[in-house]
Amino acid sequence: MGPQQDRSAAKPYANGSTAAAAAAAGRKENNKVVRYRECQRNHAASIGGHAVDGCREFMASGADGTAAALLCAACGCHRSFHRREVEATAAECDCSSDTSSGTGRR
């Protein structure tokens, strides 16, 4: 058997980015911040009921780029059970909207 390799080291992709950088980029979509809010997992689905655990917001169990980063430290559920919320950044907001269309119709 050969020497064991450190699998936790950041390995670059073909484009030069690392796995941790790719995971962090997945949370920002075109200057949008993605947050995961309350857990929506139905714990009583197997008995025909509806019961959620009350977890209010996703908190990662581990560092970015690891498998533990996808598990919630509060409730233990996968991140996909939490409600996904996309927030636009201030630089993207166009607050100077003009309601007149300028068509000249009266």
Q: CA-CA distance, 30 to 80, in Å (whole number)?
A: 20
Per-residue pLDDT, 91 = 61
CA 43 to chain centre: 22
Domain boundaries, the chain: 32-88
Provide the mean pLDDT of the chain. Answer: 75
Residue 82 has pLDDT above 70, yes or no: yes
Residue 86 bridge partners (DSSP): 34
Q: CA-CA distance, 64 to 25, in Å (whole number)?
A: 11
> Which has the closest alpha carbon to 24: 80, 63, 55, 61?
63
Average pLDDT of 55-75? Answer: 93
Per-residue pLDDT, 17 = 44
Query: Tens digits of per-residue pLDDT, 8-52?
Result: 454 454 545 444 544 444 455 567 889 999 999 998 999 999 999
